[in-house]
Amino acid sequence: MSSFSRLMRNPNFLLLSRGFSSSPSIHTSFWSPIIREKNLETLVEKFKESSSDERFRATRYLYDVAIKRLSFAKEFSLIEEILEYQKKYLDNSSEGFASRLISLYGKSGMFDHASKMFYELGGFKCPRTVKSFNALLTAALDSKNFEKVGEIFHKLPSELSVDPNVISYNILVQSLWKMGSLDNAFSVLELMEKNGVRPNLVTFNTLLKGFYVESRFSDAEKIWAKMGECNCNPDIVSFNYKLQALVSERKIEEAVKLVDGLKSEGPKPDTFSYNALIKVFCDDGNLEEAKRIYSELKVNECAPNKFTFETLIPCLWEKAEFDMAVKLCKECLNRHPFVSVEVLQGVIDGLAKESRIEEAKALVELGLSMSQYRSRLKVPSGAE
């Protein structure tokens, strides 16, 4: 089993990855017997037993984490066992609970089960409104049944007397883009206008992303115009899609100009914005510009992340700028956005070649103090 597989099977991993802490809460009694259970069959039995507690059923993270573990292990029969067992509580639960079960089936790639559960809701004291309708659309999207999204969208509203809302249309737009039908996705805006539904920022950003990924700049400009007509203010995500497209097309001057304009007019550039420029300058071997952009990132109080360090550090040691490379290595190790062992080892090896043996040893010791690097970092031969 790979180290990643072992990590994902670790019951603490998904708990911590979602920001759970070990501090006491009203749900503490559930953590240990459910989330920390290593045997998946036993986890399912304990999960079913705990489901009788209304507080447990209200804790959606428990469901998310348990189903994600089972899905990663491809234990689909166990997923079905848990979620089908929850039906006994549908008469006394909200539509939100039912929608969550439908969505969990979708995230597990089990769309047929999601659809079956949706249609079975009619036999329970549980309404089927646009909320569960959207959950079914999302299940189709998450399970990559993109054609089903359009089929459901155009068929079910009349059958159930449900009016799709902006969330429904956004799911339709995303599914059409995923299918490669960007023009049809764009035409959804007309359908929304016809049915009196106002597109929101998610609608426009989804379309911007699609057109920029396909390098269709002129069509993307139509989306910006539509945003203006609808008085929908773009956010930094909107501009980052454009920035990434400019960088991909090697339109570097335009990319820099875009970020400079954002600094003065807003929305303010974020870490992704600066990373895009750092990457393109490093790829071009223009280390000075990459360093300048990194300085701007820090001055503008954006936090460098794993991508920042893994892009800039190799460029630094390739240019033999070891002082800054070591500084960034220490910074990322102290802040814990762990870079790959290859990046860290590259700096260590470079220091050794420059006869900066003590610095190389110090960096190895610092790395070995982190569990991610134990037994993987090496002091270069001849430097022991």
3-state secondary structure of 383: coil
Contact in structure between 268 and 234 (CB atoms under 8 Å): no
| pLDDT for 377 | 75
| pLDDT for 365 | 87
| pLDDT for 333 | 84
- Share in percent of the chain as helix, strand, coil (round to 5): 75, 0, 25
Chain-centroid distance, C-alpha 34? 25
Question: What is the chain's pLDDT, residue by residue, as a tens digit (384 residues)?
Answer: 443 334 334 444 343 333 333 333 444 555 557 777 889 999 999 999 999 988 889 888 889 999 999 999 999 999 999 999 999 999 877 899 999 999 999 999 999 999 999 999 988 878 889 999 999 999 999 999 999 999 999 999 999 899 999 999 999 999 999 999 999 999 999 999 999 999 999 999 999 999 999 999 999 999 999 999 999 999 999 999 999 999 999 999 999 999 999 988 889 999 999 999 999 999 999 999 999 999 999 998 899 999 999 999 999 999 999 999 999 999 988 877 678 889 989 999 999 998 999 989 888 888 888 777 766 777 766 555
Q: Where are the beta strands (DSSP E) in the chain?
A: none
Could you tell me which residues come within 8 angstroms of residue 165 by beta carbon, excluding any fewer than 6 positions away?
130, 134, 197
3-state secondary structure of 38: coil
| pLDDT for 286 | 95
3-state secondary structure of 7: helix
Q: Which of 92, 6, 18, 105 is nearest to 52 (CA)?
A: 92
Structural domain spans, the chain: 165-233, 235-303, 305-384
Contact in structure between 177 and 210 (CB atoms under 8 Å): yes
| pLDDT for 6 | 42
Q: What angle do CA 317, 321, 323 make, to 5 degrees?
A: 110
| pLDDT for 384 | 55
3-state secondary structure of 37: coil
CA dist 209 and 242 (Å) reads: 8
Contact in structure between 175 and 140 (CB atoms under 8 Å): yes
Cis check: omega of the bond before 267, within 30 degrees of 0: yes
Q: Which of 34, 11, 9, 12 is nearest to 21 (CA)?
A: 12
At 232, phi and psi to the nearest 5?
-105, 115
CA dist 213 and 178 (Å) reads: 11
**How is 85-150 classified by DSSP, letter by letter?**
HGGGGGGGS-HHHHHHHHHHHHHTT-HHHHHHHHHHGGGTT----HHHHHHHHHHHHHTT-HHHHH
| Largest CA-CA distance found in the chain, in angstroms, rounded | 77
305-384 placed in CATH 1.25.40: yes
CA dist 276 and 293 (Å) reads: 10
| pLDDT for 308 | 95
Contact in structure between 100 and 132 (CB atoms under 8 Å): no
